[in-house]
Amino acid sequence: MADTDDIKSILAADFGSVNTRVILIDLVDGAYRLVARAMTRTTADDPVRDVSVGLFRGLELLTEQTGRALLAGRKDQVLMPEGDGQGVDAVLATASVGQPLDVVVVGLMPDVSVSSALHVLTGSYARVVDTLSLADIRTEQEQINAILARKPDLIFIVGGTDAGAEEPILELVRVVLSAVQIATKKPMVLFAGNRAIQAEVNELLQDATNLFVVDNIRPSLVDEALGPAQQGLAAVYNRFKVNGGGGFEEVSAISKVGVLPTAQSYTHLVRYLGAVARKDHSGQVPGVLAVDVGSATTMAASSIQRRGYTCIRTDIGVGHSALGTLSGTTPGNVRRWLTWDAPSDEILAYAYNKSLRPATVPQSEQELELEYALAREAIRLVVGQAREAWPGGAKAAPPLRPIIGAGAVLAQAPHPGYAALLLLDAIQPVGVTELLLDPAGLIPALGAVGYLQPSAVVQMLDAGDLLRIGSAVCVDGRVRRIGYGGMRVTIKLPGGQVERRQVAAGTLWTYPLPPGQTARVEVKTSRGLSIDGKSSLKLTLEGGAAGLIFDARGRPLPLPRNAEARARLYPAWVAGTQGTIRLRVDEVDQSQVDRDALGTVEIMTGEEKAAESDGIAEIAEEEKPRRRGVFGFLRRTPAPHEEDAGETPASEMMAELEAIAAARSADEVRAPAPAPAAEPAKADSDEMLSELRESTQETGKKRRFRR
Amino acid sequence: MANYYPDQTTILAQTTIRRERLLPPDVMGRVDVEEGLSVREVDIVAQGVRASRYVVVDLAAHLGTADPDLLAEMIIVHDREPVEEGKILATDKKKKRTVRAPANGIVAQVLGSRIVLHTGLVKEELRANLRGTVVSVRPGRGVLIETIGGLVQGVWGNGEVGFGFLKMEPRDGLSSVEVDEFSNEWRGAVVVVQGSLEQADMARAAAQGMGGLIAASMSANLRRIALKLKIPILLTEGFGSDRMNRLAAGVLESYVDRQVSVIAHEPDRWTPDRPEVIIPTGGDSKTSPPPSRNEPLRVGAEVRILRKPYTGVIARVKMLPRTPQRIENGLRLPVAEVTLPSGRAVTVPLVNLELFGRG
């Protein structure tokens, strides 16, 4: 870890496929806060092909915003260290732009060491192009040819327990040596196998190529230690970026941590949030999910039962990889999110054109719908794949709390509620969840900052530098009749004001409770619907930029096949996330709702409607009020036996983070932390909040409406 | 407001064009031309061979020694030497042992006690693809060629390269061209279609032996067919039914009956190559500066709008607001106010604008 004693201000840069984001972190009243942020177009592509140019352009924007000089020389150097309120003490860099690492995995046992290696690789931008193991029946000659034909960037060697056999893995190392010696483009080698042969591996390979040696990924048959291999992979990624040129050599030289893969930041943050999560109202430790929808790559990082899972798809996205998204789904699946009957040709043309001009944004409403339809499908595909690895498989989805959305397509949504809708539509969580958004691109920075100043991560999360969209209560069960039944909601505000609302099945509604405010909420569901297996629930929820979202659409979502029905239903959903309900039940042609998604749909009679309401059970459950911030609902010091058996990445950083969180928790019991004095500039958050206030006023006029 | 640097698509009637033509890095090659030489489109400027397979010959196992000094005396071939199957690679005269090449190939490397042979050789030839002058040579890899002339970059190509005399499509459309194997009117011609390309147009172009098609757009459903055609197809606007922007149409119209190169690169994220039409005219590079590739957006600049509802429209930047603005679909973004040819001013996100190569 870098010497961090004198670091007061940090500049974090994240290099994406379309945008370069820079954020300035500084001490405000003794705590690290996000002070300013800026975004510029990437300069990784033609004509510039130098990411440092984009970095300096971003710094010019930051200087313009803050009045703080950040550039020195001919505006081609970062002003370091900080002095007289100018410059910064440290620069950190993360990147997702560029080609993924092509990796050949070499190991002994496919189910043991090779499996661990693949686990490590899922957390980075890597593509496994071949695997060599003892189960491989190819001759040595064929194995060498296979490595040469694949032209890998990295050969990842694992295998052998620390007290285990040495010769079989050494034989594979010699095969690798032959291939490396012959290869025109020398692949790097990462060795994370039997520690007893590290010296021999060094002797064989260190003169032939860039060699990285770390501790054994499988010290014994039952122990898996992923941390050192993950750190080794981060070092390889940095070298890969530097070797690839394009300005990364310059960026790596000024960054205290080299160039880290952006995905690793998500993995670290989510694992940390998972590790400090506490049991919720249902008695379960909720999972944590972060979804980043990019132009070229979409990733889902999750922590389920305190174990981390990462799924990165470098072929799925809404820009460069729009075609990949369409290949993973169908035009029909995209069409079901649109309010008009778009021909497949039109959907295909949209995806082609978006991949040709990935930085462009929709200007018309129709194109915005298409963009969001692709985004929903991208998230659905990646989260669906991630779910398959979760304990219990895809069908046993645990409660997720929070769900964090990131990526420009979510962060630039017209209002926070719209971003919430996209997440709810694509992930379809059930039960009670919290929705957060990363409009500033903070998460990539947090992962890097964690290496340097773990306390800064905790402080920024606690201060709410991630935008809190709100809490969502989502019913489970199939909605068979849109507009009838649903959930009855009672919201008791601290001032004694009570808000009652019937949220009809198949719709959603948002109560605009601002961030930082809590309310007692009672929800009762109609027959066939439930929340965490119950038909009634009482709990305290915190608001957000959108507020409290009550999603009575059921699961799976009732998506009409008919475009006219969609054209009436979907705007009502969008309006519902802003606290208004435009939908009239008689506007929806129930017969057009997708029966595959929904089951049988019937129009409900008046008597049936009354019976449905009477069927609401009166089972209530109490939940203690929660505190504010990300830690407000997550923080808990886990018991030792609850820790993940496997070593976490950057375990030192994680341990430090948890210790800080625990210490902060103890402090706050004694004396609540004072509110931050001067709020730093956060244009997007402020704007969203002002919009929220406007929509609250608007919604207030309609509150007398009762069904 | 700090500068914004938009994407650029070069569309210029007269400029200096430099293009690097290189063999792939894994090809063992040689350059066949010299600096200063004039080349034509079809001239081969470099050639080489690529190995599809590697064979490692273990000399130590055959000759009974791993001593590098001894082996150095026994090896009778050298790097890059072509060998035929059965040719002696090394011989121990004292013990009368020999090691022979197991297959036809080229000696790639001698690694200690092993010889690596490149086998399964595939020949690679590199053509100039444009008419111009070789301005520099990279030994073993390729050349840099310069020409003066018109340049129209597109957004999509089908991966083919072709050359021919430029023609505009007939008034009644390309499908009105009668297939006549004895007619040379359209044979070899590169035809400009200012609207959307139809399947019938492609069929007619293939049947009549046209040299290439430059179109504004085509249906996404035709992409697979276009990729199978052996003549170059280049789109200036993209997929759909958009018409060609007036700048590109103007440059192309001004060069009717000129010899052009259509280099219809299929877009690839990892390479800088763009599909383009090059029209060599000759002239002085001093009066035809190369495209300026990194210009900020300024008030008064001529820009192309890339997204609906103004796709392909050439407009002029009227104002650059300092703060992000909300556009009609609700998104709030940095924008430019631009004046359309009709005189109407509209607001367009900055990311939906591009420049043409001259600020």
The interface pTM score, or ipTM, of the predicted complex is 0.92
CA B104 to chain centre: 33
Residue A395: pLDDT above 90?
no
The partner residue sitting opposite B349, judged by closest CB among A48, A363, A687, is A363
Higher-confidence residue of B217 and A626: namely B217
| A152, A129 contact by CB (below 8 A) | yes
* Residue B130 counted as domain residue: no
Q: How confident is the model at residue A657 (pLDDT cuts 50, 70, 90)?
A: low
Identify the burial level of B181 via C-beta atoms within 10 angstroms of its C-beta, where 0-12 means exposed, 13-18 middle and 19 or more buried: exposed
Q: Which residues of A touch B308 (CB under 8 A)?
A: 362-364, 366-367
| B217, B235 contact by CB (below 8 A) | yes
A120 three-state secondary structure? helix
Residue A609: pLDDT above 50?
no
**How many other β-carbons are positioned within 10 Å of the β-carbon of residue B86?**
10
Of residues B222, B266, B268, the one with CA closest to residue B241: B222
* Residue B329 counted as domain residue: yes
For A218-255, letters b (16+ CB in 10 Å) and e give bbeeeebbbbbbbbbbbbbbbbbbbeeebbbebbbebb
| A129, A150 contact by CB (below 8 A) | yes
Give the domain CATH number at B66. 2.40.50
Beta bridge partners of A103: A128, A154
CA separation for the pair B28, A122 (Å, rounded): 36
* Residue B81 counted as domain residue: yes
Q: Which two tokens stand for residue A262?
A: 């952006």
Do B215 and B267 share a domain, yes or no? yes
A334-348, A609-623, A675-689, B152-166: which has the minimum mean pLDDT?
Answer: A609-623
Q: Which residues of B touch A349 (CB under 8 A)?
A: 219-220, 238-240
CB contact under 8 A, B352 and A415: no
Do B154 and B274 share a domain, yes or no? yes
Q: Which two tokens stand for residue A228?
A: 């050192």
End position of a domain, from candidates B223, B247, B280 = B280
Q: Is B359 on the interface with A (CB under 8 A)?
A: no
The residue assigned the tokens 């609902």 is: A633
The partner residue sitting opposite A360, judged by closest CB among B55, B108, B306, is B306
Do B80 and B114 share a domain, yes or no? yes
What pLDDT sits at residue A688? 33
Mind giving me the DSSP string for B114-135?
Answer: EEEEEEEEEEEEEE--S-EEEE
Residue A628: pLDDT above 70?
no
Q: Is A332 on the interface with B (CB under 8 A)?
A: no
Q: Which residues of A touch B221 (CB under 8 A)?
A: 344-345, 348
A342-356, A378-392, B217-231: which has the minimum mean pLDDT?
Answer: A378-392
In chain B, the number of structural domains is 3
What pLDDT sits at residue A291? 98
Task: Please state the three-class secondary structure of B41-76 as a single string.
Answer: CCCEEEEEEEEEEEEEEEHHHHHCCCCHHHHHHHEC
- Nearest chain B residue (CA) to A61: B2
A55 three-state secondary structure? helix
What pLDDT sits at residue A84? 86
End position of a domain, from candidates B232, B252, B280 = B280
A147-156, A185-194, A393-402, A509-518: which has the minimum mean pLDDT?
Answer: A393-402
Identify the helix (H) or strand (E) that includes residue A34.
Answer: strand A31-41
What pLDDT sits at residue B26? 85
Q: Is B224 on the interface with A (CB under 8 A)?
A: no
* Residue B306 counted as domain residue: yes
Residue B136: pLDDT above 80?
yes
What pLDDT sits at residue B293? 74
Give residue B231's region: left, alpha or beta (phi > 0; psi -120 to 50).
beta
B215: closest CA of chain A, how far (Å):
15
A34-43, B29-38, B66-75, B239-248: which has the minimum mean pLDDT?
Answer: B66-75
Do B263 and B309 share a domain, yes or no? no
Residue B354: pLDDT above 90?
yes
Q: Which residues of A touch B6 (CB under 8 A)?
A: 41
What pLDDT sits at residue B236? 97
Q: Which two tokens stand for residue A167?
A: 């010769």
Do B230 and B89 share a domain, yes or no? no
Q: How confident is the model at residue A637 (pLDDT cuts 50, 70, 90)?
A: very low
Helix, strand, coil fractions of chain A, as percent rounded to 5: 40, 25, 40
| A539, A521 contact by CB (below 8 A) | yes
What pLDDT sits at residue B157? 98
CA A285 to chain centre: 19
Average pLDDT, chain B: 93
Do B195 and B261 share a domain, yes or no? yes
B186: closest CA of chain A, how far (Å):
30
| A538, A492 contact by CB (below 8 A) | no
* Residue B34 counted as domain residue: no
Q: Which two tokens stand for residue A696?
A: 């609250």
End position of a domain, from candidates B122, B139, B167 = B122
Rounded to 5°, angle at Cα A577 from A572 and A583: 20
Q: How confident is the model at residue A655 (pLDDT cuts 50, 70, 90)?
A: low
Question: Which A-chain residues 95-154 have CB contacts (< 8 A) with chain B?
Answer: 99, 141, 144-145, 148, 151
CB contact under 8 A, A60 and B156: no
What pLDDT sits at residue A656? 57
What length is written for chain B?
A: 359
Q: Whole domain around residue B348: which residue ranges?
A: 295-355
Residue A632: pLDDT above 60?
no
Of residues A481, A479, A547, A478, the one with CA closest to residue A512: A547
Size of interface A-B (CB pairs under 8 A): 135
A405: closest CA of chain B, how far (Å):
17
Q: Is B109 on the interface with A (CB under 8 A)?
A: yes
Q: What is the dihedral of CA A678, A679, A681, A684, to 10 degrees?
A: -170
The tens digit of pLDDT for each residue in A661-698 reads: 555 444 433 333 333 333 333 333 334 334 333 433 33
Do B159 and B265 share a domain, yes or no? yes
The tens digit of pLDDT for each residue in A124-154 reads: 899 999 999 988 999 988 999 999 999 999 9
The single-letter DSSP state of residue A673 is P
Do B76 and B21 share a domain, yes or no? no
Q: Which residues of A touch B53 (CB under 8 A)?
A: 145
The tens digit of pLDDT for each residue in A203-249 reads: 999 999 999 999 999 999 888 898 899 889 999 999 999 999 999 99
CB contact under 8 A, B331 and A368: yes
What pLDDT sits at residue B51? 87
Alpha helices in A129-287 (DSSP H): 140-150, 167-182, 198-205, 226-244, 248-254, 262-275
**How many other β-carbons are positioned within 10 Å of the β-carbon of residue A111?**
9
- Give the pLDDT mean for A630-639: 40
Residue A15: pLDDT above 80?
yes
* Residue B143 counted as domain residue: no
Of residues A504, A525, A655, A677, the one with CA closest to residue A585: A504
CB contact under 8 A, A357 and B306: yes
Question: Which B-chain residues 17-36 have CB contacts (< 8 A) with chain A?
Answer: 25-26
Residue A472: pLDDT above 60?
yes
> What does pTM read for this prediction?
0.85
- Give the pLDDT mean for B55-61: 89
Identify the helix (H) or strand (E) that includes residue B168.
Answer: strand B161-168
- Nearest chain A residue (CA) to B53: A145
CB contact under 8 A, B7 and A57: no
Residue B193: pLDDT above 90?
yes
End-to-end CA distance of chain B: 18
Give the domain CATH number at B265. 3.50.30.10
CA separation for the pair A584, A581 (Å, rounded): 8
* Residue B167 counted as domain residue: yes
- Give the pLDDT mean for A272-277: 88
Residue A579: pLDDT above 80?
no
* Residue B304 counted as domain residue: yes
Q: Which two tokens stand for residue B227?
A: 């990729």
Do B300 and B230 share a domain, yes or no? no
What length is written for chain A?
A: 707
A134-143, A336-345, A596-605: which has the minimum mean pLDDT?
Answer: A596-605
Give residue A528's region: left, alpha or beta (phi > 0; psi -120 to 50).
left
Q: Is A362 on the interface with B (CB under 8 A)?
A: yes
Mind giving me the DSSP string for A580-616?
Answer: -----GGGS-GGGB-HHHH----PPPHHHHHHHHHT-
Give residue A420's region: left, alpha or beta (phi > 0; psi -120 to 50).
alpha
A356: closest CA of chain B, how far (Å):
7
Do B264 and B190 share a domain, yes or no? yes
Do B82 and B204 share a domain, yes or no? no
Higher-confidence residue of A477 and A625: namely A477
List all residues 6 or more positions away from B179 whose beta carbon is below 8 Å from its beta carbon: B204, B207, B208
Residue B149: pLDDT above 60?
yes
Q: Which amino acid would we find at residue A691?
A: E
From residue A316, alpha-carbon distances to A296, A322, A404, A664 in Å are 6, 7, 18, 39
CA separation for the pair A503, A567 (Å, rounded): 20
Residue B299: pLDDT above 90?
yes
CB contact under 8 A, A363 and B294: no
CB contact under 8 A, B352 and A363: yes
Q: Which two tokens stand for residue A286?
A: 């909720």
Q: How confident is the model at residue A69 (pLDDT cuts 50, 70, 90)?
A: very high
**How many other β-carbons are positioned within 10 Å of the β-carbon of residue A330?**
13
The tens digit of pLDDT for each residue in A523-545 reads: 999 999 999 889 999 999 999 99
- Give the pLDDT mean for A416-432: 96
Do B270 and B169 share a domain, yes or no? yes
Higher-confidence residue of A623 and A16: namely A16
Average pLDDT, chain A: 83
What pLDDT sits at residue A3? 56
Identify the helix (H) or strand (E) that includes residue A301.
Answer: strand A298-304
Q: Is B274 on the interface with A (CB under 8 A)?
A: yes
Give the domain CATH number at B299. 2.30.30.30
CA separation for the pair B102, B113 (Å, rounded): 16
Domains belonging to chain A, first-starting first, are 10-95 (3.30.420.40), 101-239 (3.40.50.2300), 466-626+685-707 (no CATH)
- Give the pLDDT mean for B146-175: 95
